[in-house]
Structure 1
Amino acid sequence: MRPRDRRDLIYAELLAGRGTVAELCALLGVSAATVRRDLRLLTDQGRATRTYGGAVTGPLPLERTLGQKERRAEAEKDAIARCAAAEVRDGEVLILDAGTTTGRLAHHLAERDGLTVLTNGINTLVTLSHRPSITLITLGGQLRHTSQALVGPLAEETLRHVVADRVFLGADGVLAERGLSCPTLEQASLKALMASRARAVYVLADHTKLGAAPFPFFAPLTTPATLITDAGAPASAVAALDQDPHLRVRLASGVARP
């Protein structure tokens, strides 16, 4: 195969979401060095962006700030948060991921008794900081200003000392079989660790996140999890996610789009 034809085939695979070096080597029957060289050329041409272990098409999208995200799908996020709050029992130990929907969950938990909440989200820390009935534990780490999230080895080290009753994760996108789309590897690693440190795992994602992968880094879901989304979720997106053996989809009532 001519190098140009090989790169065109690689680009077609990237468009289909199959962009790891291992996948491309198996398909093309060439060495990893050849694949990496082709990916580097596609990146130089602006047709792809290198990721850990592979590539995706096009340049990486800009990550919205927490404030920008808070103004999107507000009613849907609140309906999801209320549904999630109904799962929590007084006295439980919870892990709340950073994010806007998990931040709304903190708001709905603020009057509960005897909770212990571990979080890396600055918005959750602010919401619960004046609630004496809640034991609040920050995960520590380095602050990402865009997402107002604490990440890194300090946050991960704290999590390794905890077994929580429930964890509530946010995501920029949710793909069946791949998991939660994240802007950085650090965030993907932290979410995966959070999921492993709780007896029950929940993903809180409004309908715009379903079937979307705006970023190339993923936190895989390797244990059973409940995805809570809003009633406006397209049936096709719900059906696709229902095929994931690790996911159970639940629709929050209260808000539905036509």
Structure 2
Amino acid sequence: MYAPERRQEILRLARAAGRVDVLALAEEFQVTAETVRRDLKALDRAGLVRRVHGGALPAGRLDFEPDLAEREGTAADQKDRIARAALAELPDGGSVILDAGSTVGRLAALIPLDLTLTVVTHALPVAARLAGHPGIELHLVGGRVRHRTRAAVDAWALRAYAEIRADVLFLAANGFAPGTGLTTPDPAEAAVKRAAVAAARRVVLLADSAKAGQEQFARFGELSEVDLLITDAGLDPAQQAAVRAAGTEVALA
């Protein structure tokens, strides 16, 4: 396959899937990763894709926010491992905030039935999973519910988080990096995340490695505000070192 044909196919895949990955493309086309990076660079110069860490997004989709069902199916194995590793951070008998996010939702589904917790969440899917848990005292934060994420936002949610102090926040983000901090596509959700960070003594970020280096529209915090990042082994050593240099512990699941 000639380079123009390959690039046309890469563009088609990016538009169909919403994202393409360098290593997956290299395997698909039986070329080196460096060849794929040159293809993506050419497409980026032409304004057809936007390069992000490890791959590219179709132009106009840098701040694209996938809906809940799509997020649940993305990087499922990595998210399962991260959620299982996060179980060790649950304070038996303590209080936690569970943010809106697919990996945090997986953690909620794994909480053992013999664990006693006070749980605060503004995420409807998380609340639905925990409503019948015998050991959990569940507090559901109200507000306007965003259809795309099923998360409560705006003034009611912000007031609720201003009135509590939890032991641990399990936080989600669409992008994280030492330079740009923690980001998400929607400003209303960013405000609630910021309030949740302020409401917790310890912050644990659950994020797969594909989110490293990504920057979304709404910024809600510094990486230095995160005590522990639980991610997968796809986070390369240089990125791990940069996160640790920001003062954040890193655990690979």
**TM-score in terms of structure 1 length:** 0.71
Match of 2:130 in 1: 128
Which amino acid letter does the alignment assign opposite residue 182 of structure 1? T
For the residues of structure 2 that align with 1:124 and 1:84, how far apart are their CA atoms? 15
Answer yes or no: is the 8 Å Cα contact 2:64–2:185 preserved in 1.
no
Structure 1 unmatched runs, 5+: 1-45, 47-57, 253-258
For the residues of structure 2 that align with 1:127 and 1:78, how far apart are their CA atoms? 16
Instruction: Please list the CA deviations of residues 148-205 of structure 1 after superposition, one character each: whole Å capped at 9, or x if unmatched.
Output: 1111110111111111010010010101143211111111111111111111111100
Instruction: Please list the CA deviations of residues 30-61 of structure 1 after superposition, one character each: whole Å capped at 9, or x if unmatched.
Output: xxxxxxxxxxxxxxxx9xxxxxxxxxxx7453
Match of 1:94 in 2: 96
Match of 1:72 in 2: 74
1:224 shift after superposition: 4.7
* Number of corresponding residues: 195
Distance 1:96 1:67, change over 3 A: same
Match of 2:141 in 1: 139
Which amino acid letter does the alignment assign opposite residue 66 of structure 2? R
Match of 1:248 in 2: 249
Which amino acid letter does the alignment assign opposite residue 94 of structure 1? V
Instruction: Please list the CA deviations of residues 66-114 of structure 1 after superposition, one character each: whole Å capped at 9, or x if unmatched.
Output: 1101001111111111111111132111000001000011011152432
Identity %: 37
Answer yes or no: is the 8 Å Cα contact 2:81–2:232 preserved in 1.
yes
Superposed CA RMSD: 1.9
Which amino acid letter does the alignment assign opposite residue 189 of structure 2? Q
Match of 1:230 in 2: 232
Instruction: Please list the CA deviations of residues 100-132 of structure 1 after superposition, one character each: whole Å capped at 9, or x if unmatched.
Output: 000011011152432111011121111111113
Answer yes or no: is the 8 Å Cα contact 1:201–1:226 preserved in 2.
yes
Match of 2:217 in 1: 216
Which amino acid letter does the alignment assign opposite residue 104 of structure 2? T
Q: How does 1:194-213 map to 2 (within 5 A)?
A: 194-213=196-215
Match of 2:18 in 1: none
Match of 1:31 in 2: none
For the residues of structure 1 that align with 2:198 and 2:144, how far apart are their CA atoms? 21
Which amino acid letter does the alignment assign opposite residue 234 of structure 2? G
For the residues of structure 2 that align with 1:126 and 1:205, how far apart are their CA atoms? 22
Give the 3-state SS of the residue equivalent to 2:230 in structure 1.
strand
Which amino acid letter does the alignment assign opposite residue 93 of structure 1? S
Give the 3-state SS of the residue equivalent to 2:251 in structure 1.
strand
For the residues of structure 2 that align with 1:149 and 1:212, how far apart are their CA atoms? 22
Match of 2:188 in 1: 186
For the residues of structure 2 that align with 1:138 and 1:124, how far apart are their CA atoms? 9
**Which of 103, 115, 118 is residue 117 of structure 2 equivalent to?**
115
Distance 1:112 1:73, change over 3 A: farther
Match of 1:164 in 2: 166
Answer yes or no: is the 8 Å Cα contact 2:113–2:134 preserved in 1.
no
Which amino acid letter does the alignment assign opposite residue 217 of structure 1? A
Instruction: Please list the CA deviations of residues 216-244 of structure 1 after superposition, one character each: whole Å capped at 9, or x if unmatched.
Output: 21111353521110122222322232232
Which amino acid letter does the alignment assign opposite residue 119 of structure 1? T
1:63 shift after superposition: 1.1
Which amino acid letter does the alignment assign opposite residue 243 of structure 2? L
Answer yes or no: is the 8 Å Cα contact 2:120–2:141 preserved in 1.
yes
Match of 2:28 in 1: none
Which amino acid letter does the alignment assign opposite residue 219 of structure 2? F
Answer yes or no: is the 8 Å Cα contact 1:177–1:244 preserved in 2.
no
